[in-house]
Amino acid sequence: MRPFHLAFPVHDLAAARAFYGGLMGCAEGRSAAHWVDFDLYGHQIVAHLDPAARAAPLCNAVDGHHVPVPHFGVVLAMADWQALADRLTAAGVRFGIAPHIRFKGQAGEQATMFFTDPSGNALEFKAFADDAMLFAR
């Protein structure tokens, strides 16, 4: 699978560097005065400076939770997902939806968690015990 590329607005590049580079552990790539590349589990995400950026996602009901839309993230291996959940929990990250198993016992059962970056961009990281369930119906 080829890496994806995602560009998104942030209101503060220093805060984005601290969050994505420091907390999330994403290696920093190229940068300029108004943007920074990060390696998010092998995918290229680019934080673009917009001092007025303030995400205001809407929420949709999914499995008894209010899921923010839009959001982005990566499907991780279960061990990587757990390590990230543990790191974020230890750092005191405030979760929009705390790490848990969604759709338990159903097709598509997955570990998931939602949180926001300092600019309010919603992120979801998930993992499957069986990756074949990614598109299960």
User: Helix, strand, or coil here: 1?
Assistant: coil
In the predicted structure, residue 57 carries a pLDDT above the cut 80 = no
- Summarize pLDDT for 74-110 with one digit per residue, the tens: 999 999 999 999 999 999 999 999 999 999 988 889 9
In the predicted structure, residue 36 carries a pLDDT above the cut 80 = yes
**Predicted TM-score (pTM) of this structure:** 0.91
Using an 8 Å Cβ cutoff, are 88 and 107 in contact? no
Using an 8 Å Cβ cutoff, are 115 and 124 in contact? no
Q: How far apart are CA 59 and CA 27, in angstroms?
A: 30
Query: 120, 105, 117, 110: which is closest to 56 by C-alpha?
Result: 120
- Summarize pLDDT for 3-19 with one digit per residue, the tens: 999 999 999 999 999 99
